[in-house]
Amino acid sequence: MRTKIRKMTVLAVFFLAAAGYVMFGGHDRTVMASSEQVITAKVVDQKPAPTFNGIAYIAGHGGHLAIIDLRTMKSPTDIEKDRIVLTEAGSEMEGKIAGMSFEEVKKAGGSHGQALIHEKGDKVLVAGTLNGDVYKVDLKTGKKEGPIKVGQKFCGAIVGPDGNMYFEDMADGNVYVWDTKTLKTVDKMPAGKAVCGIQWTKNAKKAYITDMPTGTVYVYDWKTKKKIKEITDPEGMTFIHQARMSPDGKYLWVSAPNEFDPGLKPGTHKSQVVIIDTKTDAVAKRIILPDNIRPHDFSFTPDGKYVLLASRTYGDDSKLVVMNRHNYDIVEEVSACYSCHSKYGIQVKIDKGSPLLCGIEVDWHPGKK
């Protein structure tokens, strides 16, 4: 009888322990799954280095777009052929930012964001600048149209779901909607303090707008244009720039170089890519980057296997960085500024002597209309 009771007690303890494991172990797994995952990106020497069928146009504070042929991944070195000049140099951290006035060195701001459109069979880049002007550049003829005054201080330039151009303004926090055919502003949407990027889910049900100095991503119901959520992350997003939606629409990649802490105090957080799950509208992953890789914008390859980062070093260069999207390894870095500047003896006199890249736009089908 005692043996039987002991057996029953042992069985009871076993089942209670098993139940406890299922309950608490399952709970732990749920917590881990719902909390953000932190990954440190590794720099690896991938051979052969990947190449892609595309041409990248990358804006910079120098007032021009650097051109990198992704089929060769060679750095730009020809001051005539490897860039598109729009305007004078200028810095995003001068003049008016988030409604506040800072020291102004240049009246005309540098280039900052651009998007590719098609007009009458030709490919045209529509670019915004740091003084709120817009330019149109025919990539076949090189003909430039502009400047056309639209806003005050543009960051991103994105083609919206309605076919219009959306410019995000860092001076007044508005998103400007611009018709590329009539060359007129058709709408203006107040969104934040100093907005830098906008992206949409695939069904255009929601829009995500990044606010640079507050480190906030605003989520909007795009049908009603009403804000429905604010996404913040004190460890991951203190000073952010542009964002891009993954090709499948499941994740929003946010550039979080974190140059500043809240209140524009000196930055104390690592440079990162913050990845937001668009189903839950919560941070899913934070990718910690090397200190000399500070992203501003992204471009996903058409197959979704790689992502290109337009990144600042805050040294004597800015780079095009290639990241493997599967494991977040950094597999290639291409100089976008120093390679050309050094050849021609060009010295950067703004931004503490550092050439700064901004938005990236890629023509993934060069040679095709």
Range list of H helices, 191-303: none
- The torsion angle over the Cα atoms of residues 278, 281, 286 and 289, rounded to 10 degrees, is 60
Under DSSP, the state recorded for 43 is B
Q: Which parts of the chain sit beneath pLDDT 70?
A: 1-34, 93-108
pLDDT of residue 94: 66
pLDDT of residue 150: 97
How distant, in Å, are the alpha carbons of 27, 28, 29 from that of 21?
9, 10, 11
pLDDT of residue 325: 96
pLDDT of residue 90: 85
pLDDT of residue 29: 27
* Pairwise CA distance, residues 199 & 219, whole Å: 10
- Helix, strand, coil percentages, rounded to 5, for the chain: 10, 45, 45
* Pairwise CA distance, residues 241 & 253, whole Å: 11
What is the pTM for the complete model shown? Answer: 0.88
Return the residue matching tokens 């057996």. Answer: 7
* Pairwise CA distance, residues 163 & 178, whole Å: 10
Tokens matching residue 66: 């650097």
Looking at residue 36, its amino acid is E
